[in-house]
Amino acid sequence: MPDAARHVPSRLTAPEPGWTTRADVVIVGSGIAGLTAALRLRAADGPSDAIGKVLVVTKDQIAAGSTQWAQGGIAAALGPGDTPEEHAVDTLVAGAGACDADAVRVLVDEGPDAVRELIALGAMFDHDPDGVLSLTREGGHHRDRIAHAGGDATGAEIQRALVAAVHRDPEIEVIQHALALDLLLDADGGVAGVTLHVMGEGQRDGVGAVHCRAVVLASGGLGQVFSQTTNPAVSTGDGMALALRAGATLRDLEFVQFHPTVMYLGPDSTGQQPLISEAVRGEGAFLVDDEGHRIMEGVHPLADLAPRDVVAKAIMRRMIETGRPHMWLDARHLGEEFWTKRFPTILATCRQHGVDPVTELIPVAPACHYASGGVRTDLEGRTDVPGLYATGEVACSGVHGANRLASNSLLEGLVFSRRIAHVLPAELRPWSEPATDVRPTGLVPGDLRRELQQVMTSKVGVLRNAGGLAEAAADLDRIGDQSAEIIDLAAWETTNLVTISGALAEAAMLREETRGSHWREDFPERDDERWAGHIDTRLRDGVAEVGFHPAPATDEGLS
């Protein structure tokens, strides 16, 4: 199977650091993964007494990342009759043979205690009138195992509790409005620090450097690669691009999950789009076409609660057959009282956009939602770069495979951040000086972002084929060959987007099969004989090399 290669910047063009500071550990990102790592590293009664100062850097405000937008909840085997084994089976089936079985076992075994710890920290989940934790069901799950808060405001409640806990620890410093640019590496290629661009933070404005002994990436996903996404504006693949430039491996970028039920706002709507949580279907809503026919009937045994890739493909097929830009979600039978109590946020959002789901159908279409691939890690979050760890959506722990099971994302960040915090103190590197960096720099004009998104949406979106992917690769090469005259946030973000987009398109071109969230029109069948394995991207001498690495399929059970 041929490998692919493309040129990308080895580091970002940026001014020399105008300020410096020090911290034992820098955590990039302030969602559930980043803040859990910070708190666990600082736990006085835990294994991390060796950790002194922890610095959390976040691209916007501390509560502005993807976690706060998580509506459905967090999955764990917490209910009567449920077991980690059953949770594992559902995870493996959704992952379509590309999961790492050991990572799945870690997730489901450690998940329940991790959620209980989150509750003890102060996160207030919903309970029934008898005081029992309220659990519901989402696509791909065969049990009610989704814990939620505020009906459909789970992420916001988790974020609130974690932020409050971080503010209580004086040894956790937070720098807001900070974009991580590149790692500083020592002579042995290990972490010696990280450069940042900070806006509006007083003495630390502009480009600076933080000297540190370890960096934990928890910077989220790449949703802004596409024109429509459920991700916030900060999700521009910065952590993945930074890791690639530093020598880490990116794994399985082709497995981008498109959420099947994103509210359709019209053909010209771009950026972050309103998510209609899978939990709405978990409570009985169903998908219909213009004629009122049930879309998922006969498609899958779980019908409207099938795994997300199955539902997204069914919607897209019906859209193509009918020439319509969207389908419909029917939740009218739930009634206003239920909507108000269970889904107050979604109800308000729909009404804000002129649709009352109590009396009207909700227009929905698939949109980019989650990156199942990312920076390759082991079971303790270690990457190829000494001193660099990754957790949450930026990482590829092996849990999600080709298609993330609903509500496993918050759990993954929680579980694997705890594991990083358990091993990192004993592995903390000695202080080292950054080596002179002679790698060539590069920067793409920031105003090319919209063009890039249009290329990715039209040619590397839900439906893919060889012709479109080849055109996308050529378009991305052309965009990437242009040089920015202005060094600013827009240019840094666009350069990161080009870097990740190119690797994603090449991986999608290489994988000649349909598996999970990767849908090739020209190769419609899953092919374990040729494609049971992973596609990895590494940067060597300014060239991103994309290659396939075989591994056994893992959806037949756990060994």
**CATH code of the domain made up of 21-255+370-427:** 3.50.50.60
Token pair belonging to 219: 């910077």
The one-character DSSP state at 237 is -
C-alpha neighbours within 13 Å on the C-beta side of residue 381: 32
pLDDT at 139: 81
> One of 308, 342, 376, 404 is an active-site residue; which one?
308
208 vs 194: CA distance, rounded Å: 9
From 149-153, 197-201, 322-326, 517-521, the region with the lowest mean pLDDT:
149-153
11 vs 241: CA distance, rounded Å: 9
Token pair belonging to 45: 């009664």
pLDDT at 202: 73
Q: What is the pLDDT of residues 8-55, one digit of tens each?
A: 889 999 999 999 999 999 999 999 999 999 999 988 444 445 688 999
Q: What is the pLDDT of residues 98-113, one digit of tens each?
A: 999 999 999 999 999 9
Judge whether 437 and 129 are in contact, CB under 8 Å: no
Q: Is 308 a catalytic residue?
A: yes
pLDDT at 50: 66
195 vs 246: CA distance, rounded Å: 12
Where are the domains positioned within the chain?
21-255+370-427, 260-366, 442-550
Residue 63 predicted with pLDDT over 80: no
% of the chain with per-residue pLDDT over 90: 85
* 135-148: average pLDDT: 91
CATH 3.90.700.10 correct for 260-366: yes
Q: What's the pTM value of the predicted model, to 2 decimals?
A: 0.93
% of the chain with per-residue pLDDT over 70: 96
Helix (H) or strand (E) holding 238: helix 238-246
CATH 1.20.58.100 correct for 442-550: yes
281 vs 284: CA distance, rounded Å: 5
Judge whether 422 and 399 are in contact, CB under 8 Å: no
408 vs 307: CA distance, rounded Å: 12
* 260-289: average pLDDT: 93
Contacts of 408 (CB under 8 A, 6+ apart): 75, 91, 107, 399, 400
